[in-house]
Amino acid sequence: MPTFSKLVAALILAAGAWWSGSVILSGPDLPVVARRFAEANAALGLILGWVVVGTSAGRGVVAAVSAGVSGGVALLVSSCALWSFLGMLRRALRTQYAGPVEGLVDAVRIMVEMAPFYFVPGALLGALGGGALAGIAAELLAERRRE
């Protein structure tokens, strides 16, 4: 069910995801060509903020921060997986693989190569801090249910 707290959590995590994507792009060259990197990460943050962080609203501040940090970690992992899969897909369309298994193995290799780009302080602050802030904001805006 849509709630204002889920919307706010989604928007805040999307902003943190955009910040993280901008920081990652400002670093050295990524192993994949990424158009609209920050914007796609923001869309991913919007979805994860709604689903992961927003659903925990109303359970207390500790649960909200925990869900927010979990949403930030999910954002980093899913973003890295998404961009490595898209890099593999781009190579597959140029027929650089002998078969599908070789492409999937290369997607994992690309993900391992991309992981250090996500562990820069600004990217971690954007994702994890934005997630924690999204969780706290969702908690403050959640309607308390009477039991």
pLDDT for the residue 74: 95
Q: Both tokens of residue 36?
A: 């609209």
Q: At 110, phi and psi to the nearest 5? A: -65, -40
What ranges do the domains of the chain cover?
4-141
Q: Both tokens of residue 141?
A: 């805006």
Closest CA to 125 of 53, 17, 10: 17
The alpha carbon of 69 is separated from its chain's Cα centroid by a whole number of angstroms, namely: 11
pLDDT for the residue 147: 41
pLDDT for the residue 55: 86
Taking CA atoms, 41 is separated from 72, 103, 127, in Å, by 11, 23, 10
Chunked into runs of 10 residues, the chain (147 residues) has average pLDDT values of 88 94 82 80 94 87 92 94 90 87 91 90 92 92 61
- Which single residue is written with the structure tokens 């781009």? 90
